């Protein structure tokens, strides 16, 4: 009779290379079952948006193919994770589960409950930190309390940690001999022209790794590539340290996706203006650089770090809209939506509220980031015929030119927005 099997439970680690859950499962010498669960909506803080879902669909297709190449099968189940695991254990008598940890606060709680419930059934659940450079709790052990400043975090990281070398994918697996029921890969409704922009999967991620300027974040987000692989095989170490810090904040400030880390901003008089929110979301603010970036987000699911910074700052500081709404829109529309990185940056924008010199002038930012106006012309076709002198500030264009296109007027005047922001911030200080 075959030994009791172990389950490798894939989550945000859709890869075979440098995957500690897989390596440890192989080391256990047990026959393996590979599992992916389409969890239901109550399982996480944020549900994946359509574009991220589509990425996961393509990534799973690729993972399934890679596993088939090693004669293994990927079992797909649906429903809440606890029940799906419990059913599979009933059917197969599996007595060990290997997985890489998740850090969304809801998933942390869920996983803790699952581990306890299964321990009572004598099923051992082991989680590994395969999606981070280092074990976040070892860092906490050194710092003794959660760290709020990036520079301090990096100083400790540099002094005490050397991210381990990535591990090769196992060449062969010992497999469970029976074929547990699988619902198969769930087709999803196509929400955008995915193939025009992206290629998902571990091989695509490895190819990106070889090119210096390829966008890697969606691959990292689905776990098609590990941060340790990136650390050792690219020159993105500084960026990865910021990512690691973002995870530190999410783990040790689990309310941060909703609650400002700096308490005084709980009292900030945000303005709930639905017209402003909708104009920003759809790229109709009347500020070309903001609109171009927000429309790029809608079409491709990605915008550069600079454009994320500009659009988020405009949302928070110029429009005084509640930052959680902007963060949530990004989570819904980014292909690389990552609760830790996204929360960290939106919190950063709010935390720098006192430096209103950073209240952005979109026209100035636009001239800097898009000196010839090509980016704007690509994503804001209404302005494609505008000469360079007006492309960043169409409101200064002659009336005939403006009337000839359907580009919206600015939703706020810059001077007004500066005045409102100062007043709101002073109100906060006065209440201290
Ligand atoms: C408002 C705002 C929201 C953001 N939301 C997300 C998000 O949801 N998901 C996400 O992955 N990144 C987010 N970022 C960070 C950053 O914009 C992206 O990681 C970056 O654009 C990815 O580009 P790249 O793949 O070329 O990464 P590279 O520049 O090649 O860096 C390699 C990896 O390091 C990490 N990284 C790089 N820059 C940063 C950074 N500034 N902060 C944290 N990690 C970083 C990413 O995981 C990235 O894939 C956000 C930034 C801002 C300002």
Residue 130: half-sphere exposure toward Cβ, Cα within 13 Å? 30
Nearest CA to ligand 1 atom 48: 217
Q: How far is the CA of 217 from the centre of ligand 1 (A)?
A: 6
CB 49 within 8 A of CB 332: yes
Percent of the chain with pLDDT over 90: 82
Nearest CA to ligand 1 atom 53: 309
Q: How far is the CA of 314 from the centre of ligand 1 (A)?
A: 19
Average pLDDT in the 56-68 region?
A: 96
Nearest CA to ligand 1 atom 21: 305
- Ligand 1 site, residue 337, Cβ cutoff 6 A: yes
Last residue in a domain, options 108, 130, 152: 130
- Ligand 1 site, residue 281, Cβ cutoff 6 A: no
- Residue 395's pLDDT is 95
Nearest CA to ligand 1 atom 20: 305
Q: Is residue 101 part of a domain?
A: yes
Report the residue count for the chain: 432
- Number of folded domains in the chain? 2
Alpha-carbon span 390 to 381, nearest angstrom: 14
Q: Is residue 203 part of a domain?
A: no
- CA distance readout (Å), 387 to 21, 371, 384: 56, 12, 8
Rg of the chain, C-alpha, whole Å: 24
Q: Is residue 362 part of a domain?
A: yes
- In tens, the pLDDT along 359-402 reads 678 888 899 999 999 999 999 999 999 999 999 999 999 999 99
Assess whether pLDDT exceeds 90 at residue 214: no
Last residue in a domain, options 99, 130, 161: 130
* Cα end-to-end distance, the chain, whole Å: 71
Last residue in a domain, options 130, 161, 178: 130
Assess whether pLDDT exceeds 70 at residue 426: yes
Q: Is residue 177 part of a domain?
A: no
Q: Which residues, in sequence order, are CB contacts of 38 under 8 Å at separation 6+?
A: 76, 77, 78, 79, 183, 186
Assess whether pLDDT exceeds 80 at residue 46: no
CATH number for the domain that contains residue 113:
3.40.50.620
- For residue 74, the cross-strand partners are 34
- Ligand 1 site, residue 40, Cβ cutoff 6 A: no
CB 134 within 8 A of CB 198: no
- Ligand 1 site, residue 246, Cβ cutoff 6 A: yes
Q: Is residue 286 part of a domain?
A: yes
Assess whether pLDDT exceeds 60 at residue 222: yes
- Ligand 1 site, residue 240, Cβ cutoff 6 A: yes
Provide the domain limits for residue 322. 263-430
235, 243, 246, 256, best to mutate for ligand 1 pocket (most atoms within 8 Å of CB) = 243
Helix, strand or coil for residue 303? coil
Average pLDDT over the chain, rounded to an integer: 93
Alpha-carbon span 119 to 111, nearest angstrom: 12
Residue 17 is classified by DSSP as T
CATH number for the domain that contains residue 357:
1.10.579.10
Alpha-carbon span 222 to 41, nearest angstrom: 18
In the numeric block, which tokens belong to residue 93?
């008598």
Percent of the chain with pLDDT over 70: 96
- Residue 428's pLDDT is 77
- Ligand 1 site, residue 309, Cβ cutoff 6 A: yes
Q: Is residue 47 part of a domain?
A: yes
Q: How far is the CA of 383 from the centre of ligand 1 (A)?
A: 29
| 190: number of Cβ within 10 Å | 11
Alpha-carbon span 208 to 10, nearest angstrom: 22
Query: 146 or 50, which is more confident?
Result: 146
- Residue 357's pLDDT is 54
Alpha-carbon span 252 to 256, nearest angstrom: 9
Q: How far is the CA of 375 from the centre of ligand 1 (A)?
A: 20
Q: How far is the CA of 361 from the centre of ligand 1 (A)?
A: 23
- Ligand 1 site, residue 242, Cβ cutoff 6 A: yes
Strands ordered across the beta sheet of 96-100: 74-78, 32-38, 6-10, 96-100, 124-128
Enter the pTM of the model: 0.95
Q: Is residue 389 part of a domain?
A: yes
Q: How far is the CA of 87 from the centre of ligand 1 (A)?
A: 38
Alpha-carbon span 344 to 103, nearest angstrom: 14
CB 55 within 8 A of CB 218: yes
Q: Is residue 223 part of a domain?
A: no
Q: What is the DSSP string of 52-65?
A: HHHHHHHHHHHHHH
Angle between helices 202-210 and 50-68 (to 10 degrees): 100
Nearest CA to ligand 1 atom 50: 342
């Amino acid at each position: 009779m075959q030994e009791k099997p172990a389950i490798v439970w894939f989550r945000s680690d859709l890869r075979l290379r440098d995957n500690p859950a897989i390596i440890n499962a192989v080391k256990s010498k047990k026959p393996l079952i590979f599992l992916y669960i389409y969890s239901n909506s109550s399982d996480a803080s944020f549900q994946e948006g359509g574009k991220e879902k589509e990425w996961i669909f393509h990534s799973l297709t690729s993972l399934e193919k890679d596993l088939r190449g090693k004669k293994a099968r990927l079992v797909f189940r649906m429903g809440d994770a606890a029940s799906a695991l419990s059913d599979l254990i009933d059917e197969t008598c599996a007595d060990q589960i290997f997985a890489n940890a998740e850090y969304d606060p809801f998933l942390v709680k869920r996983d803790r409950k699952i581990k306890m419930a299964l321990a009572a059934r004598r099923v051992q659940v082991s989680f590994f930190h395969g999606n981070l450079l280092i074990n976040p709790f070892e860092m906490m052990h050194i710092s003794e309390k959660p760290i709020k400043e990036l520079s301090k975090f990096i100083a400790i990281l540099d002094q005490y940690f050397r991210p381990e070398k990535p591990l090769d994918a196992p060449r062969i697996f010992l497999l469970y001999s029976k074929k547990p029921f699988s619902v198969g890969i769930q087709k999803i409704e196509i929400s955008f022209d995915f193939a025009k922009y992206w290629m998902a999967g571990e091989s695509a991620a490895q190819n990106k790794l070889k090119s210096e300027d390829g966008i890697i974040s969606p691959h990292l987000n689905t776990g098609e590539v590990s941060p340790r692989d990136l650390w050792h095989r690219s020159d993105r170490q500084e960026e990865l340290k910021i990512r690691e810090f973002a995870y530190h904040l999410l783990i040790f400030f689990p309310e941060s996706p909703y609650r400002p880390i700096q308490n005084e901003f709980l009292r900030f008089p945000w303005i709930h203006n639905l017209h402003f929110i909708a104009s920003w979301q759809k790229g109709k603010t009347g500020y070309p650089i903001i609109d171009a970036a927000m429309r790029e987000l809608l079409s491709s699911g990605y915008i550069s770090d600079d454009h994320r910074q500009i659009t988020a700052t405009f949302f928070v500081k110029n429009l005084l809209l509640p930052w959680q709404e902007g963060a949530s829109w990004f989570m819904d529309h980014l292909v690389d939506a990552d609760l830790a990185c996204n929360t960290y940056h939106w919190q950063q924008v709010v935390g720098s509220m006192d430096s209103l010199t950073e209240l952005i002038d979109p026209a100035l930012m636009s001239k800097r980031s898009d000196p010839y106006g090509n980016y704007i012309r690509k994503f804001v076709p209404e302005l494609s015929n505008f000469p360079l002198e007006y492309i960043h500030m169409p409101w200064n264009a002659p009336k005939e030119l403006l009337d000839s296109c359907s580009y919206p007027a600015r939703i706020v005047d810059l001077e007004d927005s500066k005045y409102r922001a100062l007043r709101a911030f002073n109100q906060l200080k006065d209440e201290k």
